[in-house]
Structure 1
Amino acid sequence: MRRARFWLGAVVAGALALGVGCDDDDDNDGNFDSVPGMPGQPDDPDSGTPPDLIPNIPDAGLIQTLSDAQIARVLQVANEGEVMLGQYAAPLATDQAVIDFNNQMVTEHTAVKQRLDALLAAEGITPEDSPLSLQLQAEVQQLMDVLQGPNAPAAGAALDLALLSAQLNAHARTAFIGDSLLTPQATNTALQQELASERQAVQTHINEASDLQSAIVLPPVEP
């Protein structure tokens, strides 16, 4: 198994800082570096999302070498986090497209988690926690705490943008970690195929959420 040097806090903070957006080229290769910046970051004062909505992730200074069992758990946590965010956001959103997107995240990531669990059972892989999976669980909870905190925007377009930013941040994190750490280290063939399938789905969700954000920030001009 290939040993990968990985600073957990730095990678996740990088995903949050870089953000994600929609690449209008439908032929992009699905890699994280194909996704440009998004609204809702601290350097985008017109996005409607307050800078302190984006959590600060400490640099854990970890060097990660993951087994297939640990990679499997990271995938489980990533999908569970998306379901949690969708369940939280859908009742709070006001834009119907944002409501629908978050309901879609609940449905699709629940289905992916079920597919993953069936694959792991068939392959005899028992998921195992690692510092990475535990950190990802903490990050989702931190996003939830920030969205419920005193600095979260009130209902309306600002809140819709914030809820989409949370989804984009979580998907960006999953994409970045998958590209830089999980895919290079997975050894089980079925797990490698699952990683590739989930990565494509994550990219689709990134593009969909970014399109929704753009429509809120820059609505169509009436003729």
Structure 2
Amino acid sequence: MKMINISISALSVFLALTSTAAFSQSTAPNDAQIAGIVVAANMVDIDAGKMATGRAQGKDVKQFAQQMVTDHTGVNKQASALVQKLKLTPQESATSKNLKDAGKANEDRLKSLKGKDFDKAYVDNEVTYHQAVIDALDKTLIPSANNAELKDLLVKVRPAFVAHLEHAKQIQLSLQ
């Protein structure tokens, strides 16, 4: 039963992020929507990381969670500074709302888990989440960004998401 919940959570996050692909089939997200998606995606990972720093059992999982809080807070600070500079207000979209909803559902599931079950569920979700973020960056967000500085920020932070994915995969293997 727990495995099904974990899979549903990971699937929800993946679908929320990959729903940005739907924009490209109708209307590409504008820069304000992209900013809203970036902020929402980072907040989801910050919130999950904060929970994991307090609930995770494994030292490596706790350290990873703290790194997610630190790194994603940094990305949001960079994004906030840029949107202020550009006089751009992050705009809610179906994607940013779905991200928030999926993040809340994931947190609710994680709250019911303890110990190694929590660690595994958190890390499994982080693997799926970061892969979905990278896919959304590559397929929709970077290509759709009209402002050069916004596009540059997305390109600049992409390697951190790749590093997070690889780190999460390493931890995931150790939890098998």
TM-score range, shorter chain: 0.7 to 0.9
Q: What is the aligned residue count?
A: 166
Deviation at 1:202, TM superposition (A): 0.5
The residue that corresponds to 2:95 in the other structure is 132
CA distance in 2 between counterparts of 1:174 and 1:210 reads 15
CA distance in 2 between counterparts of 1:107 and 1:67 reads 27
SS at match of 2:55: coil
The residue that corresponds to 2:5 in the other structure is 52
Deviation at 1:216, TM superposition (A): 2.4
The Cα offsets for residues 82-104 of structure 1, whole Å up to 9 and x where unpaired, read as: 10010011111111011011011
Amino acid at match of 1:123: L
The residue that corresponds to 1:26 in the other structure is none
| Higher percent of residues as helix | 2
The residue that corresponds to 2:75 in the other structure is 112
Q: Identity, % of aligned pairs?
A: 27
Please say which structure displays the higher CA radius of gyration.
1
- Structure 1 unmatched runs, 5+: 1-41, 43-48, 218-223
Deviation at 1:208, TM superposition (A): 0.6
The residue that corresponds to 2:66 in the other structure is 103
Deviation at 1:57, TM superposition (A): 3.6
TM-score by length of structure 1 reads 0.68
- Structure 2 unmatched runs, 5+: none
Deviation at 1:172, TM superposition (A): 2.0
The residue that corresponds to 1:174 in the other structure is 133
- Whether the 8 Å contact between 1:140 and 1:170 is mirrored in structure 2 is no
* CA RMSD, 1 decimal: 2.3
Q: Report runs of 4+ in structure 1 exceeding 6 Å deviation.
A: 58-62
TM-score by length of structure 2 reads 0.85
SS at match of 1:89: helix
CA distance in 1 between counterparts of 2:99 and 2:136 reads 10
Whether 2:145 is the aligned partner of 1:192: answer no
